[in-house]
Structure 1
Amino acid sequence: MKALLLKGPGDAVVADVPEPSSPGNDEILLKVRKVGLCGSDLNSYRGRNPLVTYPRILGHELAATVAELNPRHPEWKPGTEVAVSPYTNCGHCASCMRDRKNACQFNQTLGVQRDGALTELIAIPADRLYRANLSLRELCLVEPLTVGFHAAARGRVTATDTVAVFGCGGVGLGAVSGAAFRGATVIGIDVDDDKLATARKAGAAHSINSSAGDLHAQLAELTGGRGPDVVIEAIGLPQTFRAAVEEVAFTGRVVYIGYAKEQVAYETRLFVQKELDILGSRNAQPEDFRDVIRMLEAKLFPVSEAITHTVSLAEAPAILAAWDRDPARFGKIMIEVA
């Protein structure tokens, strides 16, 4: 069968790989239909993902169809279309023992620590599948949106909160829609007007182009001088890591989704003076998948605007190279596998 194989940094090819061996007792054989690309895939292509080894089949955002029946799981009938959680958990580390399996110390994500979904067939444990009344491209958006939804959950966002989201790319849009789904007033912050327009369609009540004015003054005006109750950082730059702490309200919550690309120096008195909750957010929990599915089934997300490029598996190496050369030109890329 065909797969997109990343042989090394900058070297992606469509290659023949073995079909999955007989699925395990609790696995379901899936026919992969669509796979979305995200920033971690680009970092793997660039050789900047410290968690990936080569060669590696990429892909962890997938929509698939059940290919054959596993008699141990008759609820998953052939032809059922599903979204997939791409994570594993060990069951015995500190995170798993606290029922926060999304942060498992020994997690292996599809397409990163183990071969991923950019292939024709894949076997996935039954408890990682989610059915929904959604199109294939909507199913393919479920997993990336859960990352932002989980950040909103980590920030304990409620309908009484004003939430500022730094970065309105794929992950940031999930945070915008996740906070809006909880009833919050959301402020999207970015330097790209097109991304900000999409954020408004995803639920942002306000948007700020931080390159075109004083960010602090605009946030103060929108929040009555208090600052946002919650700030979600979805960019990963030292300056936005610091700005999250500087701009959040006293006794507010700051949620960091990604990693900063370099070390960050803070004015730490703000942590204490404001009595802040500083929170990390990693991957997603099952309830985040269920919330995203409900949101998408309610047609509350601008699917067409979020997906900017759709190509075939044969075209995947070329679009990875183009994305590497000019990342600003691309939003969500989807690969049609079957």
Structure 2
Amino acid sequence: MKTIVCNSPNQLLVTERKRPAVKEGEALVKIHRIGVCGTDIHAYHGRQPFFSYPRVLGHELSGEIAELNEENQDLSLGDKVAIIPYLECGECIACRKGKPNCCQNIQVLGVHTDGGMQEYISVPTSHLIKINQLSYDQAAIVECLSIGAHAVRRANIQRDEYVLVIGAGPIGLGIMQYAKLAGAKVIVMDMSMERLKFCQKWASPDYTVNAKENPEYDIAEITNGDYPTAVFDATGNINSMNNAYKYAAHGGSIIYVGLVQAELQFSDQEFHKRELTIYASRNATKEDFETVINSLEEGKIDIQPFITCNVSLESLPERFEELTAPETGNIKIMIELP
């Protein structure tokens, strides 16, 4: 089967591998769609934490069940499935407390272990969700949107609460959608006017702020001087993350969704003065996947404008840098397999 391997930073190779064996409790999934994520881009450029080479990338996955190695009342051959790519140990304190998304021994497909940029992958059936009512495109977007849904759930957003989302990339867009569905008044801030325009059309935030101008003043004006009670940083940019506290209301929260290879530093005086709460938001849970699937089934989110580029598996290596360059304006690149 065809497989794309990130052999080392800045090198993707198309190789041939044997179809994986299917162990007890697993299913063989024929991959049909793979979303390209910021994680994949950072890994390609050698900037991804928790990463080693060589690695098969890809964790935003959808496909159909080609083989089952157990009797399973919920799954059948030919079922369309979305894949939960976070393989937890089930035994550590996080798992015991119902937080498998931050398992101490987690193995994320495409990060700690080989992912889905291949024609077939074997996955525990416990990490498959049947989505026969959705398209393969929709199913491959579920993981990306689940990151945003999880972050919003972590923050316990309330109706009419002012929320700031810093970073209008795919993860930020998901946060906006689920903050809006929670009833929040959403402000989005980014340095790219093109991204802000896309946000206005796709996520319908209540306000947009240009980070290159005078964002503190603009956000104070919008909130009548109160500032947002929840600030989500989805940039993965250390400068942005270090300064996110400046936009938070007294008694508010900062939710770091982006990940960066650096140390966070900010003024303790300002942090204490505001009595801020800081949350890390990592991955998502099955509950978040189900939330997203339900919202897609109910037509609350249209993913077609979100997918701005389609590419075949075979042509990805030679086109990866071109398609992921910031100037393209691509939101989500979707790899298609027959």
Q: TM-score range by the shorter chain?
A: over 0.9
Deviations along 1:249-287, whole A, 9 cap, x unmatched? 111111001223433331111221111111101000111
Deviations along 1:183-205, whole A, 9 cap, x unmatched? 21111111222322332322412
Answer whether contact 1:85 1:143 (CA < 8 A) is retained. Answer: yes
> Match of 1:92, as an amino acid?
E
Distance in structure 1 (CA, Å) of the matches to 2:240 and 2:289: 27
C-alpha distance 336-235 of structure 1, shift in aligned 2 (>3 A): same
* Aligned counterpart, 2:41: 42
C-alpha distance 328-104 of structure 1, shift in aligned 2 (>3 A): farther
Distance in structure 2 (CA, Å) of the matches to 1:323 and 1:240: 25
* Aligned counterpart, 2:198: 198
* Aligned counterpart, 1:81: 80
* Offset, 1:323: 4.2
* Offset, 1:45: 1.1
* Aligned counterpart, 2:211: 210
Deviations along 1:138-164, whole A, 9 cap, x unmatched? 111000111111111111112131111
Question: For 1:135-150, what aligned pairs fall within 5 Å after superposition?
Answer: 135-150=135-150
* Offset, 1:209: 1.8
SS in 2 for 1:289: helix
> Match of 2:11, as an amino acid?
D
RMSD after superposition: 1.6
* Aligned counterpart, 2:26: 27
* Aligned counterpart, 1:245: 245
* Aligned counterpart, 1:221: 221
> Match of 2:60, as an amino acid?
E
Answer whether contact 2:308 2:331 (CA < 8 A) is retained. Answer: yes
- Percent identity of paired positions between Structure 1 and Structure 2: 34
* Aligned counterpart, 2:165: 165
SS in 2 for 1:219: helix
Question: For 1:75-154, what aligned pairs fall within 5 Å after superposition?
Answer: 75-132=74-131, 133-154=133-154
SS in 2 for 1:303: coil
Distance in structure 2 (CA, Å) of the matches to 1:317 and 1:327: 17
Deviations along 1:109-165, whole A, 9 cap, x unmatched? 111111111111111111111223221111110001111111111111121311110
Question: For 1:305-324, what aligned pairs fall within 5 Å after superposition?
Answer: 305-323=305-323
Answer whether contact 2:162 2:186 (CA < 8 A) is retained. Answer: yes
Distance in structure 2 (CA, Å) of the matches to 1:150 and 1:247: 22
SS in 1 for 2:239: helix
Answer whether contact 1:164 1:232 (CA < 8 A) is retained. Answer: yes
* Aligned counterpart, 2:59: 60
Task: Work out whether 1:284 is the aligned partner of 2:293.
Answer: no
SS in 1 for 2:244: helix
Provide structure 2 residue ranges, at least 5 long, that are not aligned to the other structure: none
Answer whether contact 1:310 1:335 (CA < 8 A) is retained. Answer: yes
Deviations along 1:291-318, whole A, 9 cap, x unmatched? 1112222323342222111100111102
> Match of 2:24, as an amino acid?
N
Distance in structure 2 (CA, Å) of the matches to 1:127 and 1:210: 42
TM score, norm. by length of structure 1: 0.94
> Match of 1:209, as an amino acid?
N
C-alpha distance 221-298 of structure 1, shift in aligned 2 (>3 A): farther
Distance in structure 1 (CA, Å) of the matches to 2:302 and 2:243: 28
* Offset, 1:241: 1.6
Answer whether contact 2:172 2:234 (CA < 8 A) is retained. Answer: yes
SS in 2 for 1:227: coil
TM score, norm. by length of structure 2: 0.94
> Match of 1:279, as an amino acid?
Y
* Offset, 1:93: 1.9
Distance in structure 2 (CA, Å) of the matches to 1:215 and 1:300: 30
Distance in structure 2 (CA, Å) of the matches to 1:46 and 1:58: 12
SS in 1 for 2:315: helix
Answer whether contact 1:26 1:126 (CA < 8 A) is retained. Answer: yes
The count of corresponding residues between Structure 1 and Structure 2 is 335
Answer whether contact 2:143 2:289 (CA < 8 A) is retained. Answer: yes
Distance in structure 2 (CA, Å) of the matches to 1:53 and 1:90: 20
